[in-house]
Amino acid sequence: MPVREKPSGVVQGTLDMLILKTLDLEPLHGYGIGLRLHQISRGVLNVNAGSLFPAFRRLERDGLITGEWRATENNRRAKYYSLTRRGRATLERETREWETQSAAIARVLRASRSEL
């Protein structure tokens, strides 16, 4: 089921985390980030500009990512975002929290009477 294009479709904190993860692999421009999320999630996550760009502004303001204008492979100028040191630390912390939480949630959802 594709995620709706509303900002609320992806939980805000989650979107930030996904962007950070994407940038952890390599610096990318906005369009690239959207595309990458789409590809990696095998078409499940389809985040539109109205959610992406406010997220960039937010992350940049918080000093987690930093932007730099560069030429693309098609010789177009684009703003490439990359992780800052603080961004990387945040990503690691949030990934750990996410894993703990999602494992816990998964356990709760799998629970059966016999485990009580």
Partner 1 sequence: MTVWLSRLTGGCRALFARRAVERELDDELRAHFEMAVEQKMAARMSRAEARRAVRLEMGNLEVVKDQVRDVGWESLVDAVGRDLRDAWRSVRRSPGVTTLAVLTLALGLGSATAVFTLAHGVLFTPLPYEDPDRLVQFELGIGPDRFGISPGQYVTIEHQSRRLSGVGAFYVQEMTLTSEERPERIRVGRMTASFLPVLGVTPSLGRYAAPEARRTGANGGGYLLAHRTWVRRFGADPGVLGRPLTLDGVVAPIVGVLPEGFFAPRDLLSPGDVEVWAPLVLNRADLNWGNHYLTAIGRLAPGADLARAQTESDLLLDRIGRARPAYFPDNVEVSLTVSPVLDRLTGEVRPALLMLIGAVSLVVLITTANVGGMLLSRGHGRRRELAVRAALGAGRWSVSRQLLTESVLLAGGATVLGTAVAALLLAILPRLAPADLPRLDGIGLDWWALSFIGVIGALTALVLGVVSAASALRSDLSPSLETGLQRGDIRRESLGREVLVTGQIALAVVLIVAAGLLLRSFGTMLQIDPGFDPSHLLTLRVAPPEGFAAGESSGTFRKRLVERFEELPGVTGVAAANAVPLADHPGDTVFDIEGRPSALESGARDSAQYQHATQRMVTPGYFDVLGVPILGGRGFRESDRAGAPGVVIINQQLAERFWHGRDPVGRRMRMHWTPHRNGRWLEIVGVAGNAKQLSLIDEFDTEMLHPVAQAGPNTGIGSMATIMVLIRTTADPTALVETVRHAAASLDPRVPVYDIRTMDQRVAASIAQPRLTLVLVGAFSLVSLGLAAIAIYGVVAHAVNQRTTELAIRIALGARTGSLLALVLGRAWRSGVVGLTAGLAAAVACARVFRAQFYGIDPTDPVAIGAVVVTVSAALLVAIYLPARRVSAVDPITALRVS
Q: Which is nearer to partner 1, 87 or 102 (CB)?
A: 87
12-25 vs 49-61: helix axis angle to the nearest 10?
A: 80
Residues 6+ apart with CB under 8 A from 81: 23, 27, 28, 29, 30, 33, 56, 59, 60, 65, 66, 67
State the minimum distance, in angstroms, from the CB of residue 95 to partner 1.
19
- What is the C-alpha separation between 98 and 29, in angstroms, rounded? 25
61 scored as a contact of partner 1 (CB under 8 A): yes
- What is the C-alpha separation between 64 and 82, in angstroms, rounded? 9
72 scored as a contact of partner 1 (CB under 8 A): yes
- Phi then psi for residue 106, to 5 deg, are -60, -40
Q: Which stretch binds partner 1 (CB under 8 A): 16-24, 50-58, 92-100, 108-116?
A: 50-58
Please pick, from the candidates 14, 26, 76, 102, the single residue that binds partner 1 as defined by CB under 8 A.
76
57 scored as a contact of partner 1 (CB under 8 A): yes
40 scored as a contact of partner 1 (CB under 8 A): no
Footprint on this chain of partner 1 (rule: CB under 8 A): 7, 29-32, 35, 48-50, 53-54, 56-58, 60-63, 72, 74, 76-79, 86
